[in-house]
Amino acid sequence: MIQLYLPLNFLGVLYREIRQGLTDLGRMFDLLERECEVRDAPHARDLTLDRAPDVRFEGVHFGYERERAILHGVDLVIPAGRTVAVVGPSGAGKSTLARLLYRFYDVGRPGDDDAARAAAGRITVEGHDIRDLTQASLRRAIGIVPQDTVLFNDTIEYNIRYGRPDATDEEVCEAARAAHILAFIERLPQGWKTVVGERGLKLSGGEKQRVAIARTLLKNPPILILDEATSALDSANERAIQAELRRLARDRTTLVIAHRLSTVVDAHEIVVLDNGRVVERGRHAELLAQGGRYAHMWALQQSDTQGG
Ligand code: ATP
């Protein structure tokens, strides 16, 4: 009996591991697929940072396909520890900027020759062209709070600890507290061991965002990409999340991809992107005073908010 039990038990463990592995593998393949397009240069070096770096997009041209340019010479500077927000209509290329910084793709277009690649601009972190850095070290330095956080079919503890798997229980707990999700977790009948995700407890948009914030707090990256949610949360929840995001961004070099404008008011600079070109830039009050694109978008959103 015991002879039969052991292999079965082993199989059960294996099955659980494979299933877990598949969830993670799905994600890994997703990354690998994209990574095929981007390789470490033979001379690539590790990025080492002892403070928040400055990040620069210098004359960046880009297209996912050879036939269609998406960015046409974008210049953007995020000074060390500051926040720059990118706004603009749907399809303007805002999220593309974030994907390039994380190096899912390289600047330029598929099939570019050396001359075209050289003319396609560059992205630097603390003065290093990101193509000269190892992808692993670059990605270690960047935290992303996405629009819609994907949860693993695993415990809420696993989902938060994912930000830094070797974190202590105290650190995980502290991150949850800072992201204002600790009380919620402690109220669950199974607490930290509650399974979430598709096959577990479904979390609301705001709760998922808090998990993402807690993960990122644990990772503690010097560079942050905030891809603001398009779907509005209820306004009390939204204000709370925004306050947490602002705290998260403090002292980190932050790129905010803003789909709504309420989050960008305090940004060091707001960049208005349209059709892959920067059409306006400045601080909130300056842009309002200019009475241009941003002022128009702001007026529209204000009337939407008041009307809705
Ligand atoms: P939104 O506010 O709607 O999220 P966005 O400004 O973030 O829009 P991007 O996601 O950067 O826009 O997309 C810019 C353009 O690039 C769009 O026209 C989009 O169709 C195209 N695009 C995005 N991803 C890909 C891809 N993987 N392959 C081909 N084209 C893409």
Following DSSP, what letter does each residue of 177-239 receive, concatenated? HHTT-HHHHHHSTTGGG-BBSTTSBPPPHHHHHHHHHHHHHHH--SEEEEE--SSPPPHHHHH
Whether 228 and 197 have beta carbons less than 8 Å apart is answered as no
What tokens were used for 124? 């630097």
Give pLDDT, residue 5: 46
Closest atom of ligand 1 to CA, residue 65:
29
**What per-residue confidence (pLDDT) applies to 29?**
46
* pLDDT at residue 217, as a whole number: 93
User: Cα–Cα distance between 75 and 122 in angstroms, integer?
Assistant: 10
Provide mean pLDDT across the span 141-158.
Answer: 90
Confidence of residue 69 (pLDDT cuts 50, 70, 90): very high
Q: What pLDDT score was predicted for residue 275?
A: 96
State if residue 70 touches ligand 1 by the CB under 6 angstroms criterion.
yes
pLDDT score, position 36: 56
Q: What is the mean pLDDT of residues 172-191?
A: 94
Cβ pair 156, 119 in contact under 8 A: no
* 111: amino acid identity, one letter: G
Q: Which ligand 1 atom sits nearest the alpha carbon of residue 273?
A: 6
**Dist CA 1 CA 18 (whole Å):** 25
Task: State the average pLDDT over residues 222-228.
Answer: 91
* pLDDT band of 17, cuts 50, 70, 90: very low
Instruction: Give the highest mean pLDDT range of 10-14, 31-35, 84-88.
Output: 84-88
Distance of CA 282 to the CA centre of its chain: 23
pTM: 0.85
DSSP string, 145-170: E-SSPPPPSSBHHHHHHTT-TT--HH
pLDDT at residue 1 is higher than 50: no
Confidence category of residue 283, pLDDT binned at 50, 70, 90: very high
> What is the distance between the alpha carbons of residues 65 and 63, in angstroms, rounded to a whole number?
5
The beta strand positions in the chain, using DSSP E, are 55-62, 71-78, 83-87, 122-125, 128-129, 142-145, 223-227, 253-257, 269-274, 277-282
- How many angstroms separate the alpha carbon of residue 225 from the centre of ligand 1? 17
Write down the pLDDT at residue 168: 96
Closest CA to 63 of 114, 121, 115: 121
pLDDT digits (tens, 9 = 90+) for 42-67: 999 999 998 999 999 999 999 999 99
- Pocket perturbation via mutation, ligand 1, pick of 96, 102, 148 by most ligand atoms within 8 A of CB: 96
Please tell me if the CB atom of residue 94 comes closer than 6 angstroms to any atom of ligand 1.
Answer: yes
pLDDT value at 233 more than 80 = no
Tokens of 249: 């961004």
Is pLDDT of 25 > 60? Answer: no
Q: How confident is the model at residue 21, as a pLDDT?
A: 43
The response to whether residue 63 sits with its C-beta less than 6 Å from ligand 1 reads no
93 lines ligand 1 (CB under 6 A): yes
Ligand 1 centre to CA of 95 (Å) is 7
Task: Convert the pLDDT of each residue in 30-45 to its tens digit.
Answer: 554 454 578 899 999 9
For ligand 1, atom 30: residue with the closest CA: 64
Do the beta carbons of residue 224 and residue 255 sit within 8 Å?
Answer: yes
Q: Is the pLDDT of residue 213 over 70?
A: yes
Q: What is the pLDDT of residue 221?
A: 95
Report which ligand 1 atom has the smallest distance to the Cα of 276: 14
CA of 230 to the centre of ligand 1 (A): 14
Residue 173 Cα to ligand 1 midpoint, Å, equals 37
Q: How far is the CA of 223 from the centre of ligand 1 (A)?
A: 22
Q: Which amino acid residue places its CA nearest to atom 9 of ligand 1? A: 93
* Cα of 144 from ligand 1 centre, angstroms: 18
Q: How confident is the model at residue 84 (pLDDT cuts 50, 70, 90)?
A: very high
Model confidence band, residue 227 (pLDDT cutoffs 50, 70, 90): confident
Q: Is the dihedral of CA 18, 24, 27, 28 positive or negative?
A: negative
Residue 46: strand, helix, or coil: coil
What is the dihedral sign for C-alpha 211, 214, 219, 220? Answer: positive
Please give the mean pLDDT across all residues of the chain.
Answer: 86
64 Cβ closer than 6 Å to some ligand 1 atom: yes
